[in-house]
Every structure is written in C-alpha cells, then in structure tokens.
Amino acid sequence: MTRARLRKPCFLFIAITLGLAACGEPPPPLDHSGPVAGWSHYGGDPGATRYSPLTQITAANVEHLEVAWTHRTGDVTPKDEKAKTSHQVTPILDDGALFYCSPMNRVFALDAETGEELWAFDPKVVHGRWSRRCRGVSLWRDPTATSGEACARRIFTGTMDGRLIAVDAATGALCAGFGDGGEVDLRRGLGAHPAHDWEPTSVPTVIGDVVAVGASVIDGAKVNPPGGVIRGFDTRTGTLRWAFDPVPPDWPTLPPAEDGPQYHRATPNAWGVFSTDPTRDLLFLPMGNPSPDFYRGPGVREDLDYYGSSVVALRGQTGEVVWHYQTVHHDLWDYDVAATPALIEVEVEGRRVAAVAQATKMGFLFLLDRETGIPLHPVEERPVPTGGPLGDWLSPTQPFPTHPPPLQPTHLGPDDAWGLTPIDRAACRRTFEALRTDGIYTPPSLEGNLLSPGVAGGINWGGLAFDPERQVAVMNSNRIANSQQLIPRAEAPSRKDRPKHVSLFRQIGTPYLLVQRVPLSPLGIPCTKPPWGTLQGVDLARGEVIWEIPFGTTRGRAPWPFWFAFGMPSMGGPTVTASGLVFIGAAMDGYLRAYDTMTGEELWRTHLPAGGQAGPMTYRLRPDGRQFVVIAAGGHSTLDTERGDRLMAFALPE
C-alpha cells in the first residue's frame, strides 16, 4: 500500500475499506530539465553527506512514486534460526551499474535502469555470530589501466570471516594480483581469538590508491579481545601500506610476529563507516570505546582511552594521525561513535567553513574544523555524576556542544515515568525510583542506574544527511532508556536464567558482569515517555532545531487499529535531495517515507515487504531518464523487524 498526503477530498469509507491514500490527479509529465547525478560512495559522496542534487522527484509529485524494479538475493535466514540476517546495505553506482552486498557477503552487480542481475560473486564465508550483515562495498578506478583491462575498476568488500576481497567490477571475477589470489587475510597480527570476536561489518574505504578497513569487536565480553587496528592496503597489490594501532602515542610498537606485524589487544575499534576528503588526503574514523565496555578499573588492564569514543583524522596515504577529538571521556556507557563523520561546509559568522559534523549516541552534534578538529562553536566541559563502580574511575566532566545544543533530553527521572494506564505509570515510577537517575553519564553501579539515551542512541550508524543550500541536517534518533546493573562475578546468573529482553555482558577478567534491559511496564511497553524515536531537521547555521516529529508508528508491534504514531526506535539513516525532500526507511513499522526538508511534513509513504533498516540512495542515469530511489528491504536482527532479501527501486511513472 502506498500512502500520500491528500490533495483532494476523498470519501473516508473508501480510504479505510480499500486502503487508498490519494484520489484523482494523474501523475504529471516527467520533468527532464533537471540534473543527472549518481551515488558513488556509501554516503553518496566521499564526505558522506547523503545529499543528491537531483530535482525530478519533488513535493508536488512524490505521491506518484511506484515500484520500478526489485532484486532478490535469496540470502535471508528463517525466523527460528539463531544467526539472523540484517539487510543494512546501501548500494553504490558506477557506469550504469549498481553494486551491493548481501548479509551473507555475496556481491551483486545490477543494471541500474532495470534491476537485471549482471553478475554475482560468492566469497563462501564462514558465517559470523548472531547477526549476518554487510553495509556496503566500495569501488576504485585504476588511473593507469588501459580500456578493457581486467580489474581496471575493482569492487572491494570485507567479509565476516575476516577477508578483504577485490573483484572486477565488469565481471565479478577475483582480481588475482590483489593479495593472495584476490584476497587479504585481515586476521593477521590480531593474535589468537574466536572468529566471532572480530568481524568487518562496514564498507572498505578507498582514498587515493589505499583501501582502509576497520572491524567490529565483540562488546562487553572480556578484557582481552582482539584490538581495533585500522589498516590501509595498496589497492593494486593488497600490500599493507600502514596500520593505525589506536594506543596512546607514547606506547611502544609491538615486535612483529612470524606472519607480520602484531597489534595491541582490546584497543578502541572503528566499526562504522569512514569518510574521506581526497583533496586534503584525510580519512575520518568514528571510533568506539575500549574493551570491556562498562568497567575498566585499575588492575584490569592498562588505560586505552586516548582514542576511545573519538573522531580521528588520519593522513590517507600514510595512516599518520592528524588530529582527534574525544566526544566521551573514559566511556563506560557504550557511547561509541557510530555515525559516519559527515564532511560539510557550514556557515560560521557569515562564511562557509570546511567542517566535520559528528552525530553521536548521546544525541549530540559536534561541529569540528575539518583540518584541525577544533570545535567551530563552544563546547562546554560540564560536571557529570561521579561515584562510579568500585575500583573504576570517572571523568568529572564531559563535553557538551552548544551549537546546536543537545538534541534530546539529558535527564530522565521518576517524574518522567510513563504508562498507558495509571497502574503502568505507577509501576514504571517504582522502577525508576529503584535506580540511580542523575541524568546522562550516570555511571554503572551495583545498585543499578538509568541510562538515557540507551546504548542504541541517540543517533546510531545511520548518521545524518545534510542539505548544503538550506544548511539543514536531518537525522533520526532513538529515545529508549536502558537500566544497567553491575553484578559481582560470584553472583552471576546462568545464561538459561536470563529473562527475555535482558542482555548479559560477562566482562571476563573484571570483578563484575553487567545486566542491561529496557525498563518496561506490566503491559510490556517502554517506561520512557513517547516519542521513542524522532526525526529532526537542524539549521546548522543558526544551531537550532527547526522541526521535530515522532518517527514511526506501532505497526508491527501492536495489532490494527492500535497503530499509534508514538515514534519508534530506528536503524538506518536519511537521504536528502536538492528538491527539498528527505527519504528514509529505518523505522520499525516497515515504511519508506518522504518528508519536506524544511518543515518535516510527511508527503508520502509506502509499506515495504520487509524492514527498511538501511540508508536509501538516489540517482538518475541520463537526461531523458527517471530518478530512482533505492532501498534494501530485509529487516534488522536486533530490532526484530520482518526479514527479507529485496533491493527495491522506486520512480515516477514513465
């Protein structure tokens, strides 16, 4: 069913009975006068602004969007299988073809006009732990190659079993001269570890003739998991060009092992998507926190907070650190930097400045000078709660941006408890009263604390989209709290005794485990007040939120007719166009939507056959062609949305 805003009066009973949302007007003729544009990188461009200059789809005609084509990968796990697929990919476009990966790490090339499959490459991965996912691939053109030469254009993909692979963009064949027969073993130098402790989950990033790779490291499990080293490899040969081992600058380099360099363990990792400024040869990393997440006191391990929960700028060709900016000091809340650093030009005192816009799980947006990392507007170090877990230490202050100020509340207490009924509300209030509720950065404790925002954010890996002409950033944000409690190891519950909706972080090597849950009412509804998810438009020149709406309905979580616009948690992000539109899936209710960039008015929506927890992309191939909007519809394992295997393209009628 497609839904659009109503342009003419319609009979209500027809709309209800038949599910119609618009009446009357035929689609207007296609406008071919606007620009042609592609989508060359995961974030649309090297700087990940998720902005397109396309104008064919507008507020006046978006209600007429229809499915143009669908491609299915076949890679989806059944509901009862423990290792679930998450179809989080955003394709890229080059030379009339779309390239993308499936949750099983298969890579596909499609005709971008028709969706016809051109080739498929199967790396035959040994699958990962509880979630199978691949967010995207990258492309490199060899400027020295001759026309028609094999691997003159190559696709890079990282696999869950720890390989970096290069294939020919024209045929899908392995690039034999890259690494060992087309692949590089990324596990070299990490030391012995279970395979599921370390997995590449995001897009290999090309800058010049270097392809850089990070990885996800298992959360909260132990004191000594593999490290979060980020490495740059030669795009032609696969030779290691550099390695950024994120330890404090005065730490010594480890001696090499038999098979090459080795790297420190338990260091911060960069599991999200990188961005680049090719002109300045800068690579921007969103860094996570060291391991384990919720306790890092004396005697457990040496301090590795120097690059933790930071934005780091490296020199792309050498891996040299140019600058870093820490968004959380001694992060004990899993507030790692998840969103891609967006490289924008923002107005500051009447001039445009090259900046990094870094959205965070705390619901903060930091605007940093791109060349130095210095904040473009004041960031205040404010006192935060102290008295943390026994033996650990806390930073007495944390950085709070002032332009824009925090984009969601920074305090949640008993007076904020919510419920559909008085009984629910009273029960939630008792839950909050039993926890320490001193606002954001309330530390984990033996008594229990309320963490708001929760570990999902705020703003997660979907990040923001930025309209450079309107100077507006659009982002979706979560507002579900978590409760946390440290438990002495001797009192640890068994896995089989763990209640549903409870996460247990074992933190082996520390004195404590951590139990984490979403506080729920007796009806099973979050105790935090709706909206549980929002979509916001922020004027970055003025530093103001210009609109905010609840994002998502309870469809899929409640029976009809109880589909309320409470706003729901989301994963995935937005895309904006020059015509003033925002396209976004992401919410748990399974819709792809279009909004007005300046007002937040919903203009159109269509229900997808599976969850749209991915970032949409858009392109137009030729002057007489149509503008397409493409999104993966395949669900998300953690949100438990409907799983599927589709890549879907929408366009105006021909």
- Determine the pLDDT at residue 638: 86
- Determine the pLDDT at residue 20: 39
- Determine the pLDDT at residue 21: 41
Residues paired with residue 515 on neighbouring β-strands, in sequence order: 485, 504
- Determine the pLDDT at residue 495: 59
Q: What whole-number distance in Å separates Cα of residue 195 and Cα of residue 183?
A: 18
Q: What digits encode the pLDDT tens for the residues 280-303?
A: 999 999 999 999 999 988 666 668
Q: Are 442 and 451 in contact (CB under 8 A)?
A: yes
- Determine the pLDDT at residue 4: 43
Q: Are 87 and 102 in contact (CB under 8 A)?
A: yes
Q: Are 268 and 304 in contact (CB under 8 A)?
A: yes
Q: What digits encode the pLDDT tens for the residues 475-494?
A: 999 999 999 999 998 887 76
Query: Token digits for 546?
Result: 């210009």
Higher pLDDT residue, 150 or 196?
A: 150
Q: Looking at the predicted structure, is the pLDDT value of residue 319 above 90?
A: yes
Q: What digits encode the pLDDT tens for the residues 600-644?
A: 999 999 999 999 999 999 999 999 999 999 999 999 988 889 999
Instruction: Collect all residues with Cβ–Cβ distance below 8 Å to 615 and sequence separation of at least 6.
Output: 42, 43, 50, 90, 462, 572, 573, 574, 575, 631
Q: Are 520 and 500 in contact (CB under 8 A)?
A: no
DSSP state of 527: S
Query: Could you tell me the maximum CA-CA distance found in the chain, to the nearest angstrom?
Result: 76
- Determine the pLDDT at residue 127: 67
Q: Are 603 and 5 in contact (CB under 8 A)?
A: yes
Is the CA virtual torsion 219, 529, 409, 440 positive or negative? Answer: negative
Mean pLDDT within 439-463: 95
- Determine the pLDDT at residue 24: 54
Q: CA–CA distance from 299 to each of 47, 149, 392 (Å)?
A: 41, 57, 10
- Determine the pLDDT at residue 15: 38
Q: Are 248 and 220 in contact (CB under 8 A)?
A: no
Phi, psi of 497 (to 5 degrees): -90, 0
- Determine the pLDDT at residue 196: 86
Please give the full DSSP string across 556-578, using - where no structure is assigned. Answer: TTB-TT--------B-S-EEEET
Q: Looking at the predicted structure, is the pLDDT value of residue 381 above 60?
A: yes
Q: Looking at the predicted structure, is the pLDDT value of residue 328 above 80?
A: yes
Specify the pTM. Answer: 0.95
Higher pLDDT residue, 3 or 454?
A: 454
Domain 186-460+482-517 coded CATH 3.20.20.60: no
Q: What whole-number distance in Å separates Cα of residue 270 and Cα of residue 158?
A: 14
- Determine the pLDDT at residue 223: 92
Of the pLDDT bands very low, low, confident and very high (cuts 50, 70, 90), residue 17 is: very low
- Determine the pLDDT at residue 13: 34
Query: Token digits for 643?
Result: 């799983």
Q: Looking at the predicted structure, is the pLDDT value of residue 19 above 70?
A: no
- Determine the pLDDT at residue 130: 57
Query: Token digits for 611?
Result: 């969850």
Of the pLDDT bands very low, low, confident and very high (cuts 50, 70, 90), residue 169 is: very high
Mean pLDDT within 500-519: 90
Per the prediction, the chain carries an average pLDDT of: 92
Residue type, 564: F
Q: What whole-number distance in Å separates Cα of residue 120 and Cα of residue 380?
A: 51
Query: Token digits for 43?
Result: 């974030």
Q: Looking at the predicted structure, is the pLDDT value of residue 190 above 60?
A: yes
- Determine the pLDDT at residue 498: 61
- Determine the pLDDT at residue 393: 85
Alpha-carbon torsion angle 409, 415, 418, 424, nearest 10: 160
| Beta strands 602-607 and 591-596, pairing class | antiparallel
Q: What whole-number distance in Å separates Cα of residue 289 and Cα of residue 335?
A: 7
Let me know if 467 is a catalytic residue: no
Of the pLDDT bands very low, low, confident and very high (cuts 50, 70, 90), residue 153 is: very high
Q: Looking at the predicted structure, is the pLDDT value of residue 12 above 50?
A: no
Query: Token digits for 400?
Result: 């709070």
DSSP count for the chain of H helices, then E strands: 2, 43
- Determine the pLDDT at residue 6: 36
Q: Are 289 and 336 in contact (CB under 8 A)?
A: yes
Query: Token digits for 155?
Result: 């696709």
Please give the full DSSP string across 603-647, using - where no structure is assigned. Answer: EEEEE-SS---S--EEEE-STTS-EEEEEEE---TTTTPPP--EE
Nearest to 269 by CA among 309, 306, 220: 309
Residues of the chain within CATH 2.40.128.630 domain(s) are 186-460+482-517
Choosing from 277, 334, 416, 645, the catalytic residue is 334
- Determine the pLDDT at residue 131: 66
Q: What whole-number distance in Å separates Cα of residue 208 and Cα of residue 462?
A: 25
Q: Are 179 and 197 in contact (CB under 8 A)?
A: no
- Determine the pLDDT at residue 14: 33
- Determine the pLDDT at residue 516: 96
Nearest to 136 by CA among 72, 85, 90, 200: 90
Proportion of the chain above pLDDT 70, given as a percent = 93
